[in-house]
Chains A and B, each alone.
Chain A
Amino acid sequence: MSLSPIPCLPVTGPLLRRLGGVGLALVGLAPVVLGLPDHLLYLATMTALLALLAQSWNLPAQAGLISFGHAAFFGVGAYASALLSQRGHVSPWLGLLAAAVAAAITGWLAARIAGDLPGPAFSLATLALAEALRVIALHWIGLTEGASGLVGIPGLPWPAIIGAESPRTARILDYCAAAFLLGVLYAIATWIRRRPYGLALEAIRQAEGRAGALGVNTRRVKASVLILSAAFSGLAGGLYAHLFHWLDPTSVFGIHLSVMPLIMAMFGGTGTLLGPVVGAAVLYLANELVFQGLAPGAHLWLYGAAIVLVMVALPRGILGWLGGWMERGHGLV
């Protein structure tokens, strides 16, 4: 019996599938081309960052590993990059690299601790891991400054040659960095999809025992996909630290960072490649642009209601639903 709440693989209609990569690139470039005002550019950067996190959450989910603790990787990446560049005076670029490595090690640890646990137990163990790291960050004051957090984290040092003197250009470049990382991860996810590795992930999700019997080294595949996912979540965390210049245990290890990628990916359509990106954009932008105006601080409501809606009414997410709707003959394709 499969224990994952994700339905089977082919969930998007042909149009969506064909448009996936190209459309993403076009939409990704739009904020730069359109010259959005600062406020909207900030929203675009945050959307890309959250989409990166949601997309990385989605990788292990393809193998049925529903993580409740991606904040662990995000937070380790954020602290690693922030501490290295602030205390160690290392370039933030190297800091980002260190963020990926540190988060990957955390991912390896998570795989060692929880990788072979059955569905719900895996989810709960990852939740406990993230919460334990938050508690440690809160109390290990010598390293992390505890609850007062780190302030004055340097931003990304764009070389002056591309005209990064003006804060505006730097902000655009910051956005490009987030969008670039998202693009890289999207490409990796697409490339994996049709390889034996991606099929192994799918096989593990559907029937882990049988996948093992067919010669898939399930333990190794699960560990590697967790490590890959953790590395990109760590990059998102590192980027967050350099974009916002401050962090504290709750802002980078908080449970909302575990919840949001899960909700965004499931809302968009788990098991699809575009789903996490669409989910992140729809939910985050709906929250910031619509709901904040109507009812400030209602974001918990929105995210909670989104996940309830998906679980009860749209088990394949909005893309899965759209795909099914088009297959029934409503679409243009």
Chain B
Amino acid sequence: MLDAAASGLMTGALYALLASGFALVLSVARTFNLAHGELIVLGGYVGEYLWRTAGLSPIASMPFAALPCGALVLASRPLLRRLGEPFVLRALVLTFGLSLMLQGALQDAFSADLRMIAVPAWEEGIGLLGVRLPAGRLIVAAISVGLLLVLYLLWTRTYLGKSLRAVSQDREAACLAGISPRRVDGIVLLLGGLLAGAVGPLFAAVHTISPAAGLGPVTIAIVLTILAGIGRIGGLLVGGLLLGLAEAMAGWFGGAMWHDLIPLGLLVGLLRWRGGGLGSAPNRS
């Protein structure tokens, strides 16, 4: 059971990272990116392809996976810009459509088979504080925490982070202070796309992927974003660890069904508990 708990915590760190791009885009650009999961899966496929053909490890393929996703998000930006009010719901439906298109493209390009990046060295167990874990999980968790730390510093310590925070708090006031919300939206969308793509190879290294696998990560991203609250990167990590632990414990005691039901149940519960804030998100204009 201790092994399961530790492995749950490791997965939780990855959850926090895969939610981070989604959370940033939602807090700053007020866009529910339902295609976030498909972007992660696309990144996963790029990683898998590079691993299969060039033997590139998932870590090394992260930048290559990030680029196409960032480009895709930028390409869809003109569509988002053309949406009328009410923006939040329209963006939700639009990205739903985009996620279907991406899923179709993934199916054509990679077929519907389940795939995974199975790095032999990552399968070896490592003993740590009395529990045994596959090395891959530890590496993935370490990278996740590292990247989240970078993101946290970017968010709190840089001028860019300051303008992102300003726009997420009050678009009009940010405008008055000389920050262009439109430009900041573009930056944050690009950042979200890059993050989603970069997580892909890590996700594919601990989880099977298929064209339809995007729903899982996007559910987790929504759950963690609501749990953490808008614009809290530290909260994402805490929430991710808790979710990973809860899933692992539910799976341990109750079996696979409960493992899968935990994020969905949490999502509904959180929407009821804190969802009020989502609909009344401040107007964009």
Contact = CB atoms under 8 A, between A and B. Distances in A.
Contacts of B88: 3, 119-120
Given A117-B279, A139-B257, A298-B104, A129 B268 contact: yes
B142 interface: no
A128 B108 CA distance: 27
A110 B199 CA distance: 34
B103 interface: yes
A120 B32 contact: yes
Interface residues of A, number: 46
A312 B76 CA distance: 11
Q: DSSP class of B's interface residues: helix, strand, loop or mixed?
A: helix
Given A117-B271, A131-B219, A3 B100 contact: no
Interface string B86-117: 10111011101111111111011000000000
Contact of B268 (A2, A66, A113): A113
A135 B86 contact: no
B101 A1 contact: no
Nearest to A299: B104
Interface stretch (B60-68, B239-247, B259-267): B259-267
Contacts of B157: none
B183 interface: no
A305 interface: yes
A4 B92 CA distance: 11
Given A131-B264, A135-B261, A300-B100, A118 B278 contact: yes
A255 B215 contact: yes
Interface string A1-41: 11111000000000000000000000000000000000000
A304 B265 contact: no
Interface in A228-277: 255, 259, 262-263, 266
B101 A139 contact: no
Contacts of B105: 301
A308 B261 contact: no
Contact of B97 (A136, A140, A305): A305
A247 B181 CA distance: 49
Could you say which interface size class chain B belongs to? 35 or more
A124 interface: yes
B146 interface: no
Contact of A5 (B86, B103, B267, B268): B86
B223 to A, nearest CB: 9
Given A2-B86, A119-B86, A307-B94, A124 B271 contact: yes
B84 A315 contact: yes
Nearest to A5: B90
A187 interface: no
15 contacts: A113-B272, A119-B88, A120-B279, A128-B265, A129-B268, A135-B257, A140-B257, A262-B93, A299-B104, A304-B99, A306-B97, A307-B100, A311-B79, A312-B83, A315-B84
Given A117-B272, A304-B97, 17 more contacts: A66-B89, A119-B86, A120-B89, A120-B92, A120-B278, A121-B271, A125-B268, A138-B257, A139-B255, A259-B100, A262-B93, A262-B96, A300-B101, A301-B105, A303-B100, A304-B98, A311-B97
